[in-house]
Chain A
């Protein structure tokens, strides 16, 4: 783009700025347009889970429902409570959306489509993502409402806590790829990291789910306890912005999981020159698959209590991710993949040549490390679940619960 403008006689600096502005607008709009679709998808999915149809009146399959909602919200009166800190109150919803959209700048959609392949990409998305947390505090504080403030404090305490296991598990792909650039992490995944370090992937997914405030961690915006929490005083389009921010964030965590642990745009030959669109579809397919899991969790798990949420984080996830980091740290070092040697081995033929021609030489290079780490991860996972199981049993014994009856069975018995 910039090259084209320069070749048609533009000033080089100006050309680059124009190209950047255009790229930024396209990329940021993609995020906003995508949520219109993802809100529809989510409502349809929730409808099916709850044995109803979901939106089906506006347009084919209710596809235009979101547009109708936007239209309605545009003509809703916008109320600012008296005593609110006006400037902060108005700025918070904008910051909430901006902080999430800004993450799109470093997401590689294929080997060339990336806003900016920063060499500190991982740190960038963590830093920018916490702007959304700041927006929650601003909203709760400026509303001059005790419930909003209470909700904001709860939200901040929870989000800040879950940032710790998230960062600790994030260090593992960085360590394996030897880079903080998102592109390099994708390129390092000849074997997707979910098959190498599944425990890290799980911790990352759980803590990101908590960061979004999705069920089962949706007590941040619990209607029945703190009447919707930090956004209680917001109405009209400003409320819609918080709503939109949550949906974009929910999708962004899926994209991040897909890129950091599911191999991003790699797979089935995507990533070769000429397969740009296929790589993009690969990322989107993986993200939507993760998104389906998020929706399924949202529609099936009940909300957990705030003290349980904090205890689960500090007394289980953080120690587990520390142990996980130590294990990966010591086991991965002797098996650092030597891509050049693997390529030579594949070229030499034999068994390595056979497998190399099927899976690629990167696969051969990473195989020993993957096997060792996978075995260690499986042992760790088994130990952790066993620990949780024991803890549950002692807690139940303390409360005097004999054995757990499924809810359905007891309801049937009383009929």
Chain B
């Protein structure tokens, strides 16, 4: 086991950011640069672009995000419980089963309400 693991993680993240930046930087040195008006237009199937892309979008994505968020918060409680699982008694087991069960009911609710349909 290494003495300071988070130091390694920090350095590793920096190295991981630098490594892909190097070939992009190299390409900037080597590649030709002949920009033109036509070339820099957005490519949308060859049809001329109307307006920019930052427009309103479907609310459906938002619903998926909400359902995801509920489950993601559940994980926050689930993983510490799973780590301690081998030492836990029956009470903690039943409590977590109830917790997962409530989430199951939430899923059924979202399902019945049609939040999971792709429109």
Contact = CB atoms under 8 A, between A and B. Distances in A.
A318 B107 contact: yes
B107 A319 contact: yes
Majority secondary structure, A binding face: helix
Contacts of A336: 86
A330 interface: yes
Contacts of A307: 117-118
Contacts of A101: 16, 19-20
Contacts of B55: 146, 149
A161 B64 contact: yes
Which range contains the number of A residues in contact with the other chain?
35 or more
Contacts of A387: none
B103 to A, nearest CB: 7
A279 to B, nearest CB: 17
A82 B30 contact: no
Contacts of B107: 314, 318-319, 322
A80 B54 CA distance: 17
Interface residues of B, number: 75
A64 B73 CA distance: 47
A241 interface: yes
Contacts of B4: 16, 20
A240 B23 contact: yes
Given A178-B86, A329-B93, A237 B27 contact: yes
Interface string A58-96: 000000000000100111111111110000001001111
B45 to A, nearest CB: 6
A315 B117 CA distance: 10
Contacts of B11: 17, 20-21, 24
Contacts of B30: 74-75
A32 to B, nearest CB: 6
B21 A94 contact: yes
A38 interface: no
Nearest to B86: A178
Interface of A: 2, 16-17, 20-21, 23-25, 27-29, 32, 70, 73-83, 90, 93-99, 101-102, 104-105, 115-118, 122-124, 141, 143-149, 153, 156-157, 160-161, 163-164, 167-168, 171, 174-175, 178-180, 227, 232-233, 236-238, 240-241, 244, 306-307, 310-311, 314-315, 318-319, 322, 325-326, 329-330, 332-333, 336
Given A24-B12, A178-B83, A326-B97, 18 more contacts: A20-B4, A75-B30, A78-B33, A94-B21, A144-B42, A145-B42, A146-B49, A147-B45, A149-B53, A153-B57, A167-B72, A171-B82, A178-B85, A178-B86, A241-B24, A310-B118, A318-B71, A333-B88
